[in-house]
Every structure is written in structure tokens, then in C-alpha cells.
Amino acid sequence: MLGFITRPPHQLLSLLLCPGLRILRLSVHCAQPRPRAMASSSSSWELPLVAVCQVTSTPDKQQNFKTCAELVREAARLGACLAFLPEAFDFIARDPAETLRLSEPLGGNLLGEYTQLARECGLWLSLGGFHERGQDWEQTQKIYNCHVLLNSKGSVVATYRKTHLCDVEIPGQGPMRESNSTMPGPSLESPVDTPAGKIGLAVCYDMRFPELSLALAQAGAEILTYPSAFGSVTGPAHWEPVSS
């Protein structure tokens, strides 16, 4: 069985799709049973708990880390084996230039703090959308929207760079052009075995493209993840119709 701890949603959403699962506020729900070996009996069932952490990011990376760390520590205290953070958990800038200035490589200080947090708490972390300066940063001056998965030892076990960038016209707000500052990822990441099940990594706008979901499912994914930073206009236009 699969349990979820949830917090009230703010501006950012960290969302998962799993057959037979509904995620509600401040509640624990169960999906399809999954056998887990226990000391008392090989036929016993254990409930893996995962935490879906909702935050409202700002341009202040250290304040955002402090907020996320508080939620992750709470998840660990409640017995979660894995905590999910949303897209742009690291920061949301005021403009594209600030986004590029605040971005870091995977080997930078900020991700180092999250790897230490994972080790300290002894649980896996899904970092749903890290503003990554890739190896081609000097040539492109663009970043990647990178979903990073850490194990309980703080090691990076998977990275998926968002392949479908959100270039849309928003009524009353003008265009949103993620491609102005972000490069599309080159490939999908194979589903990863975790204490909660086999997880397929995606990001936000990827959910509009069913071929990605089908490819992950056919590769054995039991849980599809779509950490998202949908806004008040893009959320109803994308998440709600697709998930209904």
C-alpha cells in the first residue's frame, strides 16, 4: 500500500499520478497493496509513507531551503520514506535574468545542502524542478529544468531534464516563454526503484504529452510524478482537465 502525507497547497504544486490514488489535503490515502518484508512475518504488509510537500518559493534561496527543510524533517519525523518537493522548489525569480543569475550547477552549494538534508533525515528526496546550469552553460547561457532524485544517503540516483518546455500565450498576461531561458532535456530517464515503488520522473508541462507517460509506464513505472509550478491561469488550463 502507498500512503501520502499532504500539506495545504500554496502557489506551487507537487503532484503525483498513481492508479487508484486520490491526494487530498491533510490526509493519508492508500493505493494498490505492495508487499514489504517485515521481521515478524514474510506475509505481513507495511504501509510506505511518502510526503508531498507544498511550498511558495521566492527569490531567496536560503529562505526557501529553510522552508523545505522544515517540511522534510517533519516528513521524516512522521515516518515517510520519500518526500516530494515541487518544481522550482529552489527559487522563483522576478524575471528571466534573475532566474539565470540565481541558477546553479548540480554540484553547487544549494544541491549540496539538500544531499546533506537527505542523509540527515534518512529519506529519499524528489527535487521536482531544479534550475540547473548544465555543462553547456558557457555556450548556451541557458539552464535546464531538472528533476533530481536523491536516495537516503544523499546520492543523486537519477536526473531528468524537462523535455517539453512551456511556451504559451496567457490571456491578459502575455506570452510565457520557458524556452527563452531553458534548454529542453535530451531524453527520458528510466523509472527508478525507491522504497515507495518504481517512480517515473517528469515535470509540469510534460503532462500534456501522453507519449511520455506511456513510455514510462511501459518501462515499468508504478508512480508517475509531475511536480508543477502551475499558476492561477495555467493550472486550470492544464492540470485540472488532464487529471479529470
Catalytic residue annotation? 87, 162, 204
Q: Cα(52)–Cα(172) distance, rounded to whole angstroms?
A: 32
Distances (CA, A) of 85 to 65, 89, 203, 212: 11, 6, 12, 21
Contacts 24+ apart (CB under 8 A), 169-177: 170/233, 170/234, 171/233, 172/233, 173/233, 176/234
**Cα maximum dimension of the chain:** 60
Residue for grid cell 507495511 = 46
Beta carbons within 10 angstroms of residue 119's beta carbon: 15
Residue by residue, DSSP assigns 129-196 as EEEE--TTHHHH--BEEEEEEE-TTS-EEEEEE--S--EEEETTTEEEEGGGTBPPPSS----EEETT
- Give the three-class secondary structure for 106: coil
